[in-house]
Amino acid sequence: MTDLLRQEIATAAQTVVIKVGTRVLTHDDGTLNQLRIEQLSEELHQLMATGRKVLLVSSGAVGAGMSQLELTQRPTDLAQLQAVAAVGQAKLTQIYDHSLRTHGRHAAQVLLTAEDLDDRTRYLNIRNTLLSLLDYQVIPIINENDTVSVEELMTTFGDNDRLAARVTNLLQAPLLIILSDVDGLYDGSPDDPQSKLIPLVQQLDDQLMGVVRDKKTGHSKGGMSSKLEAARLVTTAGENMIIASGRKPGVLQKIMAGEDIGTLFLAQGKTVSQRKRWIGFSVEPRGTVLVDNGASRAILEQGRSLLPIGITEVQGQFIKGDIIRICNQQNTELARGLTNYTHQEIKKILGKQTSQIAETLGHHPYDEVVHRDNLALYEPGSG
């Protein structure tokens, strides 16, 4: 059954980011399901044949490594997991490339870490590279660089759901499709026969986040909670997202035909500018400031900058130029922005008038802690 809204979204999506999860690509023992990759590659080819540009964020490196090394159990030691992923990453891309070549297509391996998107220059270089690959009619096979990214917590995406959301925002792609082992978002546990599929999410809220039930199997780092976080990142930036089962043949063609399958998360308001996407959705924040009600209203309702007088607390350590979270007194995130001051300096000037900055710090480079031009709101459609 087709849906007019879904048809409209699919027709407008000339660039599509697709994320496929570990459980879709592996057997029950954790090893790689090569046949499923071949089937997926054919669907990607058919999607490109419609004139669309396609990027794939693919899990499965550990599963591919297990197959190569003939392991029957997924390693639990971090160094061993990194080693197995290193072996599997090359094999995974090779399988994709071989499968796509049967359709006259090519694959390119792209490994990223969170640090790559934190740095503005590297961020733009990645964007330019991906756009050039798409111009060559190549399908980028994107994955987190597991061999290095887990060395420090701050340099990891956490899972490929959030990585896919960041890639979607990086390219301003109108649609992200997450292929999972479940049919979409349910109002309870997917294993509960009483649970019902939620076909449409117009706005993410606390009540919806509360219905999430993650499945704990050891074969995947991602769960429905990470998919909802991905949906928040994508829809807040003005794009759409669909979660559907990756185990059903022809799922991509059905989605692009506007069929009513899976869960559609609707974009919230206007599309966010490229710079605000980088500030709000790509860089890992280095710290947090809490603000009073007056500052909250000034930022959200009046389009104002963040001044020191409205800040009540500083959390974490950061330097000038870092991205920081701006939260209200209930620790709810309102915005993110580039700070003009270090955490030590803000602790000294918080609650003070702008005119007191010079006498407190001995210098007065900026009136604003975060200027409005360097601030991305977390209100849907804002920024």
Superfamily of domain 285-377: PUA domain (2.30.130.10)
> Average pLDDT of 326-344?
94
Q: Say if CB 110 and CB 141 are below 8 A apart.
A: yes
Q: pLDDT tens-digit profile of 172-188?
A: 999 999 999 999 998 88
CA distance 15 to 53: 5
Q: Which two tokens stand for residue 249?
A: 């043949």
pLDDT above 80 (res 360): yes
Q: pLDDT band at residue 274, thresholds of 50, 70 and 90?
A: confident
Q: Do the domains 4-276 and 285-377 sit in the same CATH topology, yes or no?
A: no
Local structure of residue 140 (DSSP, 8 states): E
Structure tokens that stand for 200 in this block: 């449409």
Cβ proximity of 286 and 342 under 8 Å: no
Confidence of residue 72 (pLDDT cuts 50, 70, 90): confident
Q: What is the CATH number of domain 4-276?
A: 3.40.1160.10
- Give the separation between CA 241 and CA 243, rounded to whole angstroms: 7
CA distance 376 to 383: 5
* pLDDT at residue 148 greater than cutoff 80: no
Mean pLDDT of the chain: 88
Tokens of 132: 């050039």
Instruction: Using a pLDDT cut of 90, give the percent of the chain over it.
Output: 60
Q: In what order do the strands lie in the sheet with 175-180?
A: 106-112, 138-144, 53-58, 15-20, 175-180, 240-245, 263-265, 200-201
CA distances from 240 to 9, 235, 321 (A): 8, 6, 31
Asked if 375 and 310 count as a contact pair (C-beta separation under 8 A), the reply is no
Average pLDDT of span 167-172: 93
Q: What is the mean pLDDT of residues 14-39?
A: 91
81 in Cβ contact with 151 (< 8 Å): no
pLDDT of residue 42 exceeding 80: yes
Please state which of the ranges 11-20, 41-50, 84-93, 305-314 shows the lowest mean pLDDT.
84-93
Calpha distance 39→252 (Å, rounded): 11
Domain boundary assignment for the chain:
4-276, 285-377
- Tens of pLDDT, residue by residue over 207-266, are 776 666 444 444 444 478 889 989 988 998 889 999 999 998 899 999 999 999 999 999
Confidence (pTM): 0.82
Residue predicted with more confidence, 339 or 23: 339
